[in-house]
Amino acid sequence: MTGTLGENDCEISCRRRENRASSLARIDDDEEKNEEGSSGDTTDENYGLHSTGVVIDPIENTLADQNHGGDDVKERRLSRRISRRTVRSWKYEKYTLPSSTYTLIITEKIFSLPFLVGLIALGMSLTMLIIVMISELDDGSNRNPLGVPAGVEITCRIAQYLGVIIGVLMESEIPLALEILGQECEQLQLGRMPFNRVRVIVSCIMRLCVGTLFLFTLFLVVIQEGSALDIFFDMLALEFVENIDVIIYELCKRGFFGKELRIACLKTYQYDAPLIKHKIDKNNRTYKSGRILRLIIRTIYYVEMALMLGFLTFVVVNQNRGQYRCNSILVRFGDEAWEGAWVHHGEGVEPEDRLLIYSHFNGIYVETGTKERRPRYIEHNKEDGEKFRVTHPAEISYCDAIEAWVFRH
């Protein structure tokens, strides 16, 4: 069966040949880019990260050119492939040491001014945090070592939980220390040692100590304060103490403490990228170790939050149970007397004008139940401290109407 090609058929066949030729040309260009990229990384403008070249299927491109209606589907598939390959492009990025005086301890010579400034900043942070911690612990007693108040208002309770959450979010020393240790482990596996390993480990340990002291002191401040404003003000003060290393570093960087410190702080130090080859190998040990270390960092971060909230909840439950209240109080009214006091003996009995001597009610008052959500203290026998069997005891309780503690008998 014979036939002739029309003008439309000729145009379609020419278009197919042109599309096939353009696809092959793109493949050649991609291969050339891959060969050039073997000596260095290429930059993906769409993602802003260093990534490898992506080989595109010529058959898929040809079909996509022929079927213009499926262009969107093909582009979405291609973008998903690219995203899957570039999601692990962090392996081609360098890690820059943070702008902190802890970095000076790692990079500068031991007998140099920048190294000394790093030690001074570290000593200031540790000293101030230890002083605050000791001051908070001094408020405690044998029965209540943390100095937790008997109870707080609901606004203060909300501020306590918010303070713990915000405090953990603000704390940055522990995550930074774990990140740097992770980078050092990767470099160790690759046989590299860009910095003195002992000094890196010591610097990270000091970061961990400062971060742990910050969290513990923050917890003490949160559970001891009785108002929301005091909690937030103390949080800001502790954050300043922890970040004193960054503040000193920035001042040195601006030249406030001399030329030598300014030059040292203007330098940037980096860890080289763990991988320099194009194709990422999931079986590579640096890839596996990197994933494990990042998982450990996230886990520790969440564990910190969970532990802080858990301990705070434990304190709140004990407060509601009256664990931190005084079970008994010693009352001394002095030698004052009230002349012409009207004493009510009960319903149906006329009040009596009597002389009320306050010192008769001195003694021990023991907590017996609650009244209006507050403890109620009842007078006990002055001789043996036991309950009165015949005498009607005096009572000290809280009155919401006048918002004060009331003595009654």
pLDDT for position 183: 86
- For the chain, counts of helices (H) and of strands (E): 12, 11
Tell me the angle at which helices 154-170 and 228-242 cross, rounded to the nearest 10 degrees: 10
Same-domain status, 239 and 133? yes
Give the closest residue to 207 by CA, choosing from 178, 184, 187.
Answer: 178
Q: Picking from 215-229, 246-260, 262-276, 326-340, which range would have the lowest pLDDT averaged per residue?
A: 326-340
pLDDT for position 398: 82
In a domain, 195, yes or no: yes
Total number of residues shown for the chain: 409
Tokens of 194: 């860009």
Judge contact between 148 and 315, C-beta under 8 A: yes
- Which carries the bigger pLDDT value, residue 170 or residue 344? 170
In a domain, 3, yes or no: no
List the domain range (segments joined by +) for residue 393.
328-408
Same-domain status, 109 and 176? yes
Question: Of 69, 87, 105, which closes a domain?
Answer: 87
Same-domain status, 12 and 118? no
Tokens of 33: 């880019």
Same-domain status, 279 and 175? yes
Could you report the per-residue pLDDT of 364-392, keeping only the tens digit for each? 888 777 777 778 888 877 655 566 655 67
Pairing relation of β-strands 363-371 and 352-357? unpaired
- Of the chain, the percentage scoring pLDDT greater than 90 comes to 27
Average pLDDT along the chain: 75
Q: Which residues pair with 378 in a beta bridge?
A: 366, 395
In a domain, 2, yes or no: no
Structural domains of the chain, count:
3
Average pLDDT estimate for 65-78 = 54
pLDDT for position 374: 78
pLDDT for position 22: 56
Same-domain status, 355 and 391? yes
**What is the per-residue DSSP string for 280-308?**
--TT-HHHHHHHHHHHHHHHHHHHHHHHH
Tokens of 56: 């595109």
Same-domain status, 344 and 307? no
Could you report the per-residue pLDDT of 108-140, keeping only the tens digit for each? 999 899 999 999 999 999 999 999 999 988 887
Judge contact between 331 and 358, C-beta under 8 A: no
Could you report the per-residue pLDDT of 318-341, keeping only the tens digit for each? 888 878 877 777 788 877 777 777
pLDDT for position 358: 76
Q: Residue 41 pLDDT more than 50? A: no
d(CA 251, CA 256): 6
Question: Of 298, 320, 342, which closes a domain?
Answer: 320
Tell me the angle at which helices 285-320 and 173-189 cross, rounded to the nearest 10 degrees: 160
| Alpha-carbon distances of 156 from 48, 160, 294, rounded to whole Å | 45, 6, 36
Same-domain status, 57 and 101? no
Could you report the per-residue pLDDT of 151-164, keeping only the tens digit for each? 788 899 999 999 99
Q: Picking from 12-26, 53-67, 222-236, which range would have the lowest pLDDT averaged per residue?
A: 53-67
pLDDT for position 304: 86
DSSP 343: E
pLDDT for position 265: 92
Same-domain status, 243 and 192? yes
Q: Residue 347 pLDDT more than 60? A: yes
Could you report the per-residue pLDDT of 177-225, keeping only the tens digit for each? 988 988 888 888 778 888 999 999 999 999 999 999 999 999 999 999 8
In a domain, 309, yes or no: yes
Question: Of 58, 87, 116, which closes a domain?
Answer: 87
Pairing relation of β-strands 328-331 and 374-379? unpaired
Tokens of 292: 């494990």
Average pLDDT estimate for 249-264 = 92
Average pLDDT estimate for 227-254 = 91
Helix H or strand E segment including 315: helix 285-320
Q: How confident is residue 165, by pLDDT bands cut at 50, 70 and 90? A: very high
C-alpha 301: how far from its chain's center? 7
d(CA 281, CA 52): 13
In a domain, 1, yes or no: no
Same-domain status, 159 and 292? yes
Look-up of token digits 């043996």: 384
DSSP 322: T
Same-domain status, 265 and 339? no
Same-domain status, 292 and 351? no
Look-up of token digits 């209606």: 69
Same-domain status, 315 and 341? no
Q: Residue 88 pLDDT more than 70? A: no
d(CA 408, CA 405): 10
Judge contact between 107 and 195, C-beta under 8 A: yes
